[in-house]
Structure 1
Amino acid sequence: MLRRDLLLLSVPAGMPAPVKAQQHPNDAAERTPPLEWVAGDLPPFAWRAPGGARGYAHDLMLLMARQLGRPAQVTYYPWARAVQLTERSDHVGIFPLARTPDREKRFQWLVPLMTTRYVLVTTATERRLVLSQLRLLRVGVLRGSPIVRNLQGEHFQTIIEGKDYKDLLRMLVGGTLDAVYAGASMIEAAMDEYGYARQRFTTHLALGEAKLYMAASLALAPEEARRWQKAYQQLEEDGSVERLRRRYFAAEKH
């Protein structure tokens, strides 16, 4: 029950309800909670490395925060929890979140990051498997990711969730999984970050794609959303965004 409802219920019968004090038009804007950022360990966009958290989206957020004169802080959680926290709050930002039809009206979409293809990866094989063969495998997917629906739509029989890409790669190499379904740029960056040579794996099939965003709680105040979007536009205009892209996606086309 909301606080105002509790106050109304506490007024004795016959007495008028408390009158709401008049507010200056700028009062609400001044009390708008600042955006708090969360992320998961999802290289190359955001992850906790030995030397400190980094990544394309992480570093972009730092630049935007500096532009706005805001504290530059990201709290890292398992991905499914980070998504839930954002959806249940009114002032939380998250990255990198795939913009999918089922999520369209559940979040505010602040800043586009890049489009990623989703691929099926196994340990190294002499030949690539076709879709009918891949359907029979134990396939790992990131917990909380909507791309599981792509697998379900293609009638994959055994789908196993992992908390992050490090977890999925560990299960794949250890034999708990036969394949991993993930964003191509992310699973490749995870291989590099967690010490797996790319030659140990084979990419068999691309199955769908999505645009990744810096997103926020649906209830985030519009003026707060506009501040961050304006900061991004300024960084794009001065070349900062492109420099970050080259640092993390040297071989990618944008």
Structure 2
Amino acid sequence: MPTTYVRLLCLLILLLPLPAWAEALQLFSVQAPPLTSNEPGQQGLVGEVVLAALAAEKLDYTLHTPPWPRAQKQVQEGRDLLIMPLSRIPAREQLYTWIAPIYHVQRAFFSLGTPVRSMAEARLQLHKVGVGLGSAQHQQLLDAGFREDQLLVLKIDENPALMLEMGRLDAWFNGIPEARYFWEKVGKHELRNSPPMTGNDLYLACSLECDPDLVDSLRRRLQLMQESGEVARIQARYARYTD
């Protein structure tokens, strides 16, 4: 009788549904170096931290890099889907489960001429500002009173830097590390920047419907990595873009 009971118990356990993350997690990202990148050994100052946390928790993952607006939509509509590096701004607050901040990014206007000194000055003087498609900075400029016809919304890659170099933009509004990275690749003139205009934390986030145990394990691991100095050591490798 006890043997039969044990067998039945084992069978019931096997029939219980496993959490979605018992299999490989689905991690959505964007090619936005030096924050996140697909380049081996240079996954970015956010990407390397997140991948190290997943490895420490022994969690397998599959990385997806669809267009950034689509990535955000898929994570919002899905379940237990991870996304990085996601800016925590008011417009997104109720759309995701926010696991942990990884890096605080500051954004500025980049130009070849005299840089603007304030958001109000930029709004009055700049007629064609490049900004990333699906990016937090696009929303931040709209919130600051920019008109859509002042903004040229571009894919997040080196194209805004190229367009600025060719004189097709008055300015480029972007995170300081990204702008420095892309300008190092394509810029031929001196890049000048305004004072930082906005700033927010870049997060590892999850779908709004996200397993609490998954959230807790990753949040705890990332906190331990912060306290041990591991996050600082990883991000120090990208210092030439952040200092």
Compared CA separation, residues 207 and 238, structure 1 to 2 (3 A): closer
Corresponding position: 1:65 with 2:65: no
Shift of 1:133: 5.5
**Aligned partner (choices 111, 115, 125) of residue 128 of structure 1:** 115
Shift of 1:231: 2.3
**Aligned partner (choices 16, 19, 25) of residue 31 of structure 1:** 19
> What is the number of residues matched between the two proteins?
225
Compared CA separation, residues 154 and 196, structure 1 to 2 (3 A): same
**Aligned partner (choices 153, 156, 164) of residue 156 of structure 2:** 164
Distance in 2 (alpha carbons) for counterparts of 1:251 and 1:243: 15
Compared CA separation, residues 146 and 252, structure 1 to 2 (3 A): closer
Compared CA separation, residues 236 and 207, structure 1 to 2 (3 A): closer
Compared CA separation, residues 149 and 32, structure 1 to 2 (3 A): closer
Equivalent position of 1:214 in the other structure: 204
Secondary structure in 1 aligned to 2:34? coil
- The structure where strand makes up a greater share of residues is 1
Where structure 1 has 5 or more consecutive residues not aligned to the other structure, the ranges are: 1-22
Contact 1:141 1:148 in 2 (8 A): yes
Equivalent position of 1:40 in the other structure: 30
- Cα deviation digits, residues 24-48 of structure 1 (max 9, x gap): 6x934x3333531111111211123
Distance in 1 (alpha carbons) for counterparts of 2:57 and 2:239: 26
**Aligned partner (choices 233, 237, 240) of residue 247 of structure 1:** 237
Q: Which moved more, 1:231-240 or 1:92-101?
A: 231-240
Contact 1:62 1:72 in 2 (8 A): no
Shift of 1:52: 6.3
Shift of 1:153: 3.7
Compared CA separation, residues 90 and 32, structure 1 to 2 (3 A): same
Distance in 2 (alpha carbons) for counterparts of 1:153 and 1:239: 36
- Cα deviation digits, residues 104-126 of structure 1 (max 9, x gap): 1111111211222221111x22x
- The structure where helix makes up a greater share of residues is 2
Q: When the two structures are superposed, what TM-score results if normalisation uses the length of structure 2?
A: 0.80
Secondary structure in 2 aligned to 1:224? helix
Equivalent position of 2:4 in the other structure: none
- Cα deviation digits, residues 200-245 of structure 1 (max 9, x gap): 2111343222111111111111111112122223333443222112
Shift of 1:183: 1.3
Secondary structure in 1 aligned to 2:130? strand
Compared CA separation, residues 235 and 121, structure 1 to 2 (3 A): same
Distance in 1 (alpha carbons) for counterparts of 2:42 and 2:236: 18
The residue type equivalent to 1:63 in the other structure is A
Q: Which moved more, 1:73-82 or 1:130-139?
A: 130-139
Where structure 2 has 5 or more consecutive residues not aligned to the other structure, the ranges are: 1-11
Distance in 2 (alpha carbons) for counterparts of 1:32 and 1:149: 32
Q: Which moved more, 1:99-108 or 1:63-72?
A: 63-72
Q: Which moved more, 1:208-217 or 1:164-173?
A: 164-173
Q: When the two structures are superposed, what TM-score results if normalisation uses the length of structure 1?
A: 0.77
Shift of 1:98: 0.6
Contact 2:19 2:211 in 1 (8 A): no
Equivalent position of 1:84 in the other structure: 73
**Aligned partner (choices 143, 148, 158) of residue 138 of structure 2:** 148
Shift of 1:128: 2.9
Compared CA separation, residues 208 and 237, structure 1 to 2 (3 A): closer
Q: Percent identity?
A: 21
Compared CA separation, residues 156 and 74, structure 1 to 2 (3 A): same
- Cα deviation digits, residues 68-91 of structure 1 (max 9, x gap): 222254222222222222112112
